[in-house]
Amino acid sequence: MADTLCGLNREEIARLLGNRKDAEWRGKQIAHHIYGRAADSYDRMNDVPQDLRAMLSETPITNLQIAKHLKSSDGVEKLLMHTGDNQVFECVLLPYKDRVSCCLSSQIGCPMGCKFCATGLGGFDRNLTPGEIVGQYLALQRLTTRRISHVVFMGMGEPMLNLQNLIKAMRLLHDEVGLSYRHLTVSTVGLVPQIRELAQEGMPIHLALSLHSPLDSVRNRLMPVNHKWRVREVVDAMRDYARITGRKVTFEYLLIKEVNDTPEQAEALSKLVKGFPNVVNLIPFNYVDTEQGFRRPERARVQAFRRILEARRVNVTERQERGHDIAAACGQLAGEHKGKFARRNKGSALPLASS
């Protein structure tokens, strides 16, 4: 038997039912309860025969537990989740006037070590399974009567280091939950082989690169990954992703005062992203207590940076910031919970490239 039903598609659930004549139909029915209705108990499956529910009861629907539920003054909600081992990861519900979105984690912690990110400062424990990834969406869906229509993988972890589990989770969100691939966004620090692999999957998802500087000298300081794949190489991979998938890509740009918010870098960025469909998303730095002493730029510096880009016909947006009072904003997810990363090997890290 599987560890949990969440993480299995309708065909895989049907196979668990053995040689029942109605296995295919019941697999579809049970999958609809789990993914379409966000059922977390067999008692909610009233139209499933009692004997079948009894047989399945040995396999939990999900093993996710809520360690903490935080609500922001602006409507954002954050869940700290675990699977019974106190290795906590976070997900965020983001209601807007015209839609409901959510931000999901792909790993517990993160091995990438970006200098501005609270998650990276906490270290790395393990990859999340497809069921644990989709289970976050379902847990958040149970918090709201509105349908969550958009998913961003911008929570804890580097999604591309957990690519196969991520792909399975996205297929479940599309095939079983019913979300459009075009409403799924994956954010990466720039793992070139995995970007190219994802482009071949035939899923028209939106891809966002955490760029944060057009200059190798600055990006090296901010993001250790840049020592392996330099700015030009990773932007070329994004250019190819846009060409293969037909999707506009996003360059996330965290503005840090007097580090990467200079006019010279705005000029260099405008040249770097020319010639293919993309948008630059500016994100003024959210405070994270690091040894670097990074600061948020004044509004005038943000506006000056944006004006340079717009004058050079770069498509620019600015992140709508939410959830500050519960540390749910960009770069702030840290798994703040007693017992977090209790079994982590302090020196653990995943390889940057697929073998």
* Residues designated as active site: 90, 330
Task: Please give the single-letter amino acid code of residue 72.
Answer: S
User: What's the CA gap between 263 and 321, in Å, rounded?
Assistant: 23
From first CA to last CA, the distance across the chain in angstroms is 31
The secondary structure of 134-162 as a DSSP string is HHHHHHHHTT-SS---EEEE-SSS-GGGG
Q: Are 309 and 272 in contact (CB under 8 A)?
A: no
User: What's the CA gap between 226 and 234, in Å, rounded?
Assistant: 9
The secondary structure of residue 83, as a DSSP letter, is: S
Place of tokens 């510096």: 301
Q: Are 227 and 112 in contact (CB under 8 A)?
A: no
Query: Which of 96, 81, 101 is CA-nearest to residue 40?
Result: 81
Burial (0-12, 13-18, 19+ Cβ within 10 Å), 51: exposed
Query: Which of 145, 186, 187, 188 is CA-nearest to residue 169?
Result: 186
